[in-house]
Amino acid sequence: MVEFALQLELPGLQQTGLEVGGGAMVGGIIGFAAKKVAKIIAILVGIELALFKFLETRGILEVSWGALTQAANNTTSTAGDAAAGQPPSWVTSLLSALPVSAGFTGGFLVGFRKG
């Protein structure tokens, strides 16, 4: 009877291992790609702001830096408000996906760091 109980637990451990390992692999790939995309976006935004400043010094373009800063602040506050309004059942959803999420998070961090 003890052997039967151990046999029942092994597929659960194997399934958990597959979920964690698969999540880690997918997370690593996505983390690596996310860092590369973030670098490209940062470079493009920097070039755009430098171009705006150059065109402003030449008198070709007039940039309202205050309005640009205010729009960025409004965007971040709106995103923060949306993130704060989580439904109460998010804990249940998180716990049901914990093995995959743990593997994904670890893989994402490793991939992001290596990228």
- Tell whether the model's pLDDT for residue 8 goes beyond 50: no
In a domain, 5, yes or no: no
- Tell whether the model's pLDDT for residue 6 goes beyond 50: no
- Give the pLDDT confidence of 45-94 residue by residue, as tens digits: 889 888 888 888 888 888 788 887 888 777 777 666 655 555 456 556 66
In a domain, 53, yes or no: yes
Count of domains for the chain = 1
- Interatomic CA distance for residues 38 and 32, integer angstroms: 10
In a domain, 9, yes or no: no
- Tell whether the model's pLDDT for residue 35 goes beyond 50: yes
Question: Domain range holding 58?
Answer: 38-64
Return phi, psi of residue 64, to 5°: -90, 90
In a domain, 80, yes or no: no
In a domain, 55, yes or no: yes
In a domain, 51, yes or no: yes
- Give the pLDDT confidence of 37-56 residue by residue, as tens digits: 989 998 998 898 888 888 88
In a domain, 103, yes or no: no
In a domain, 11, yes or no: no
